[in-house]
A and B are shown apart, each in its own frame.
Chain A
Amino acid sequence: MADFHRLVKTSELKTDKLTNAAAGNLRSISYMSYDEDFDALVLLAFEPESDLIVHYLDGDVALLYEDDSMQIVGLQVENFQLSFVPMHADLNKTWTLSDALGKEYHNLGEMMVVVERFRPKLAQEIINAAKDIPKEFAALFAA
């Protein structure tokens, strides 16, 4: 399929919020959640002000933008544990955490509590691993 039924071009999406937040002119959040059933990780830099729209890039990585403003506010990575994490060695190490903490975690809920401490590093590695995403993400989530 040539066009993947694409209705909105990536060039139509806006990055003003990301740019302003990276410059320190706009307050951002650093929200991360993982949906175990869907196997998707979501990173948000802002509380969305309207419905979130998933804009697929290449593969399992997608931008999240506000329906009303078309401002990019986050990132979604699908097949996160199945394929994204194993493909990226640094991310795999951080996500597993067993090397750093010397402990095996039996479920993701338990792991996510601990992973909170590693969130900036984890977010940074996800952003480094994902291609074609706005560079402003890195500055926001590394803080």
Chain B
Amino acid sequence: MEGYEDEVKQAIQEPNPGIFEDTQRPNRNSYYLRLPRSRKYIKVVVNFSDESEGYVVTAFKTDSVKRGEKQIWPTSTDS
């Protein structure tokens, strides 16, 4: 994601529409950020070794949230 470093950071810090748990790997979350004036998101995939530490596996542009991913933040109780 050369040239999109700021957006990748922003996706992790201020995800919108949110954070989603991977369909098959509970230690993997996806952070989505809607890009302004665009029909795209930045998706940042993060693996967690424990609850507090993780690393970015990959990041790319997509035009949807992946089917089956479960939204974990924000949830209806967060609003």
Contact = CB atoms under 8 A, between A and B. Distances in A.
A74 B79 CA distance: 39
Closest 5 CB pairs of A and B: A7-B39, A6-B64, A8-B63, A54-B62, A5-B65
B72 to A, nearest CB: 12
Interface residues of B, number: 23
Kindly name the residue among A8, A37, A54, A55 whose own CB sees the greatest number of chain B CB atoms within 10 A.
A54
Interface string A34-52: 0101101000000000011
Contacts of B62: 53-56, 62
B61 A59 contact: no
Contact of B24 (A38, A52, A56, A79): A79
A6 B63 contact: yes
A22 B40 CA distance: 29
A37 B28 CA distance: 11
